[in-house]
Amino acid sequence: MKAIRFADIKDLHIAPKQWYAWADDAIRHKKDMFLPPKTHMNMEGNIFCNVMPSIVQVDGKKIGGVKIVTRYPKREPSLDSTIILFDAETGEFLTLMDGNIITAMRTGAVAAHSVLQFGTKGFSEIGMIGLGNTARSTLLILQSMVPEQQLNIKLLRYKDQAERFEQRFAEFDSLHFTICDTYEQCVQGSQVVISCATYFENDLCSDECFDEGVTVVPVHTRGFTNCDLFFDKVYADDTGHVDHFRNFAKFRQFAEVSDVLNGEAPGRENDQERILAYNIGLSIHDIYCGYKIYEMLKKDEEAFAQLQDIDLAAPTDKFWV
């Protein structure tokens, strides 16, 4: 079993469009994959640990995996994740790998995917709340998919993050930034609202702040429960991840994104619909991307040989007690 570090993945310089393509393929083939419920463990102080198993079909192979993600607010960064992959046909463990780049990039890819899938044609006004790595990956991937589209982006001010965010994307001539001081300023007039903040105690804005035709993508699901009640359509990456939501039974119209992609449910049907996309993130996306990365590294025999080997020296005899 190989150990794949953060730096090993970063040094691959995987293109934003590649992350998008992987996400799209994993979403489209969701029904071919095995996705049991994740285990979510909450602790005091807004600390959590999520354990997410799944088995995916990728490149003609059946690959299993488990992702563990934790959030400790006093840790820098607060979120951390690790992934383990195994061959689901033989049981051979393949790799223990850092999950941070995969988590950020596949989450950004899925968010960008929802914006392009459900946003109004030619959207240009975007409000962004929560400007960490996930927000950066979302915009990086979105821009790569519509490089000629001029986007006016309102950033919600938080410490110095908005300024640093704008600086990060200074090289892109198609991106234009304004910094806002309130949620209302960020949301009103936006055709797309992307929230990547991990925690909100209450909803952010009153109903009147959301214009007709808006697409809202709350990556971590918090802050928009009022939208559940009056938005025209709600989509999610998995029903089981949202059917316990307080307002689930009150959604006007609901479908999974994979059903839309496969023509089994309607997507946006006009430019007046308000659409909410609860793409919480599925472990099938992580395991899919993780295996793609494992294969990328494996193709370079010299580099693959240099990866650290992990040998737990498991027993080979049937009886060992």
Examine the pLDDT at 280 and tell me if it is beyond 80: no
> Mind listing the pLDDT tens digit for each residue in 81-112?
999 999 999 999 999 999 999 999 999 999 99
Query: How confident is residue 241, by pLDDT bands cut at 50, 70 and 90?
Result: confident
Distance CA 284, CA 306 (A): 28
Q: In the prediction, which pLDDT does 198 show? A: 78
Query: How confident is residue 291, by pLDDT bands cut at 50, 70 and 90?
Result: very high
Given a contact cutoff of 8 angstroms between Cβ atoms, the answer to whether 72 and 83 are in contact is: no
Distance CA 112, CA 110 (A): 5
Q: In the prediction, which pLDDT does 126 show? A: 98
Q: Please state, for a pLDDT cut of 90, what percent of the chain lies above it.
A: 92
The number of beta carbons lying within 10 Å of the beta carbon of residue 52 is 23
**Mean pLDDT rounded to a whole number for the chain:** 96
Sort strands 79-87 and 93-98 into parallel, antiparallel or unpaired. antiparallel
Q: What is the mean pLDDT of residues 164-171?
A: 98
Decide which of 222 and 120 is more confident: 120
What CATH homologous superfamily does 107-278 map to? NAD(P)-binding Rossmann-like Domain (3.40.50.720)
Q: In the prediction, which pLDDT does 199 show? A: 77
Examine the pLDDT at 277 and tell me if it is beyond 90: yes
Sort strands 93-98 and 61-71 into parallel, antiparallel or unpaired. unpaired
- Tell me the backbone φ, ψ of residue 236, rounded to 5 degrees: -145, 160
Nearest to 135 by CA among 181, 95, 79: 79
Sort strands 275-278 and 233-236 into parallel, antiparallel or unpaired. parallel
User: What is the 3-class SS of the chain, one letter each residue?
Assistant: CEEECHHHHHCCCCCHHHHHHHHHHHHHCHHHCECCCCEEEEECCCEEEEEEEEEEEECCEEEEEEEEEEECCCCCCCEEEEEEEEECCCCCEEEEEECHHHHHHHHHHHHHHHHHHHCCCCCCEEEEECCCHHHHHHHHHHHHHCCCCCEEEEEECCCCHHHHHHHHCCCCCCEEEEEECCHHHHHCCCCEEEECCCCCCCCCCCHHHCCCCCEEEECCCCCCCCHHHHCCEEEECCHHHCCCCCCHHHCCCEEEHHHHHCCCCCCCCCCCCCEEEECCCCHHHHHHHHHHHHHHHHHCHHHHHHCEECCCCCCCCCCCC
Query: How confident is residue 38, by pLDDT bands cut at 50, 70 and 90?
Result: confident
Query: How confident is residue 18, by pLDDT bands cut at 50, 70 and 90?
Result: very high
The dotted CATH code for 2-102+283-309 is 3.30.1780.10
Q: Measured between alpha carbons, how far is residue 173 from residues 143, 150, 169, 181, 284 in Å?
A: 10, 8, 9, 24, 35
Angle between helices 283-299 and 16-28 (to 10 degrees): 130
Q: In the prediction, which pLDDT does 107 show? A: 95
Q: In the prediction, which pLDDT does 16 show? A: 98
Provide the residue ranges of all domains of the chain, joining segments of one domain with +: 2-102+283-309, 107-278
Q: In the prediction, which pLDDT does 255 show? A: 98
Given a contact cutoff of 8 angstroms between Cβ atoms, the answer to whether 266 and 304 are in contact is: no
> Mind listing the pLDDT tens digit for each residue in 65-87?
999 999 999 998 888 999 999 99
Taking the CA atoms of residue 192, residue 198, residue 203 and residue 208 in that order, the dihedral angle to the nearest 10 degrees is -10
Token output for 186:
């960020």
